[in-house]
Structure 1
Amino acid sequence: MKKAGVWLETGEMFFHDGLNIYVNRVSERFDLPEHEHDFIEICYVWSGSGFHYIGDETIRVSQGDLFFLPVGVSHIFRPSSPSAKEPLMIVNCIFDEKLFRFLTSLLPDEFGLYRFRMLLSEPGQWLRLHEKAGEFKRLFDSLYAEFASKRIGFETMLVGLLLQLLIGIERAMEPEAGTALADAAAYRIERSLQYIRERLHEKVTIAQVARHAGIGARQLQRDLSAQTKLSFSALLLKERIDRSRELLTDPSLATLTVADAAARCGIPDLKRFHRLFKQATGKTPGQYRSSIRAANDSS
């Protein structure tokens, strides 16, 4: 099936008898078309070298390279040359998105596979890693052997091996535990703040924000306390007041009423808004707007 000039591979071409995992090993050629798929694919360079074309990028690959490709990412491998002495051999493990979401939700949110959730939250994102000591090869050896032999219980074994592979990839994304964890927490806070700021006019709960960040509410509160020294409710209030200050002093919104500003930042109760605003700034909304205007006029 073709989609906008790119060959579309669908799960029904590979998944049979209710098994939504498929493993194969192929020698890449020049006549194979660029394609995308409606399933998730993990590709491992078994042997040889060549190039991997992913979207608009061209990446030189060699034995030990691994790629995690979400749904809809177009790609194709090519050998270094038609006469390469060693063929470019790729092992592919493909599985549907429903299985992936099940496996990544087995552990509690606060110590689950949150990097994958962050990866898939951004459209078109993919991942490249290189093994350190054959750790991915051993797992792909087992995956390929189980799929090829189809011994009793191989379906369950494949699911278990896939989970091991996902955990192995998660670990490989964390070269320095302390730094990586801090970076991950900072990224979660950034995503959380973006989510909050886009919805200040709505009722926003910590559960909603935690789901967006891909972690549990308790973990998000711990991250917030460590990064901002504020509780969730205090941070939300700070963001609302900061937004109202921007609205009240925006020259293009000179006719905006205090009531409208309060509603836009999610505090529609005008009496409560006045009290909270004065607590935060030392001035009423009207006094604050007038002082900023006077300062701008005198400059």
Structure 2
Amino acid sequence: MVKRTVRLFSGTNYFNDITSIFINRSIESYEVIEHYHDFLELTYVCEGIGTHHINNEVIRVTKGDFFLIPVGASHVFRPGSISKEKQLVVYNCIMPLEFALQMLQAVPGGKELWHLLAPSEIWHLRDLNGEVHSLFERLYREFSIKRIGRDVALHASVLQLLTYIARLKTEDETISIQNGMDYILAILHSEYDKTITLQELASELGVGERQFQRLFLKYTGMTFLNYLQQIRIDAACRLLRTTNYKVSYVASSVGYNNIAFFNQLFKKKVGLAPREYKQLNK
């Protein structure tokens, strides 16, 4: 049996008297060997696909997977491909365990989060609404740009991140579904001009299509189709009011290539034909 080589990553290489929080954005490769460390690590997959090797377990990872890695736990990431177009990119946020404890002791209610500092194993979580991604992006920006209030901002973002992790670990499935629906609605509001299927969104939420339709109706008071149509028609109204675009261009800009269907739907939702609405709002 081949003995695994596991290397220690020491905090002395990352921390100094000025700061006890270190953030980086790393492109994973096969050059990094399996390792453990004497500090707490929070890591987030922000691009690509690959695997996370934790002791003898191999976990497939994609954008949105993140991990809380305690002191002494061994692990390593591996990219799914050596192609530069399919790189596995992760954010890492590390800090000494003693520092994290002092930080939590210094804030009201911090004691509630102490259990995060010494879990018995690596925690694998999923960013359902993009909030964790935003926190890691903010941490990386604050760490990279040395400006006034940098340490305050780093401490605040780390506390937000720890709080979010604690809630994910302790709150029930209903909260997870709510977070997931927030993410689904964000997709609809930002990508309404693209082809979006119920099947794709149900898969994103991790439920079947029928359950997705029930959850969507309960969460929004509307069916998936009616909700998407309303977003698109609202966007069309904005374009008709604020631009000189032709109706056909407006229709395609909000996801409708069939101009006859668009005109029919617009009149049903608004009470006026698109050209009438445009004239009325000149």
TM range (shorter): 0.5 to 0.7
Mapping of residues 174-213 of structure 1, within 5 Å: 174-176=170-172
Tell me the residue number matched to 2:102: 102
Q: Where does structure 1 differ by over 6 angstroms across 4 or more consecutive aligned residues?
A: 177-180
What secondary structure sits across from 2:71 in the alignment?
coil
Tell me the residue number matched to 1:154: 150
Tell me the residue number matched to 1:219: none
- The question of 1:169 aligning with 2:170 is answered no
Q: Go from structure 1 to structure 2 and tell me whether the alpha carbon gap of 1:159 and 1:45 turns closer, same or farther (over 3 Å shift).
A: same
What secondary structure sits across from 1:107 in the alignment?
coil
Distance 1:149 1:164 in 2: 20
Q: Which runs of 5+ in 1 are unaligned?
A: 181-299
Tell me how far 1:114 sits from its aligned partner: 5.2
Alignment-mate amino acid for residue 157 of structure 1: A
Alignment-mate amino acid for residue 131 of structure 1: D
Alpha carbons 2:52, 2:76 under 8 Å: kept: yes
CA RMSD of aligned residues (A): 2.3
Alignment-mate amino acid for residue 126 of structure 1: I
Tell me how far 1:18 sits from its aligned partner: 2.7
Q: Which runs of 5+ in 2 are unaligned?
A: 177-282
Q: Go from structure 1 to structure 2 and tell me whether the alpha carbon gap of 1:134 and 1:31 turns closer, same or farther (over 3 Å shift).
A: same
Tell me how far 1:147 sits from its aligned partner: 0.3
CA-to-aligned-CA distance 1:75-95 (integer Å, 9 cap, x gap): 110001222632100000000
Distance 1:148 1:169 in 2: 24
When Rg is computed on C-alpha atoms for both structures, the one with the higher figure is: 1
Q: Go from structure 1 to structure 2 and tell me whether the alpha carbon gap of 1:134 and 1:34 turns closer, same or farther (over 3 Å shift).
A: same
Mapping of residues 141-290 of structure 1, within 5 Å: 141-176=137-172
Tell me the residue number matched to 1:62: 62
Tell me how far 1:175 sits from its aligned partner: 3.8
Tell me how far 1:55 sits from its aligned partner: 1.3
Alignment-mate amino acid for residue 141 of structure 1: E
Tell me how far 1:177 sits from its aligned partner: 8.0
Alpha carbons 2:14, 2:22 under 8 Å: kept: yes
Distance 2:10 2:167 in 1: 30
Q: Go from structure 1 to structure 2 and tell me whether the alpha carbon gap of 1:138 and 1:179 turns closer, same or farther (over 3 Å shift).
A: closer
Alpha carbons 2:70, 2:119 under 8 Å: kept: no
| TM-score, length of structure 2 as denominator length | 0.56
Q: Go from structure 1 to structure 2 and tell me whether the alpha carbon gap of 1:108 and 1:31 turns closer, same or farther (over 3 Å shift).
A: closer
Mapping of residues 50-89 of structure 1, within 5 Å: 50-83=50-83, 85-89=85-89
| TM-score, length of structure 1 as denominator length | 0.53
Distance 2:28 2:147 in 1: 28
What secondary structure sits across from 2:139 in the alignment?
helix
What secondary structure sits across from 2:85 in the alignment?
coil
Tell me the residue number matched to 2:12: 12
Distance 1:38 1:159 in 2: 20
Distance 1:59 1:121 in 2: 19
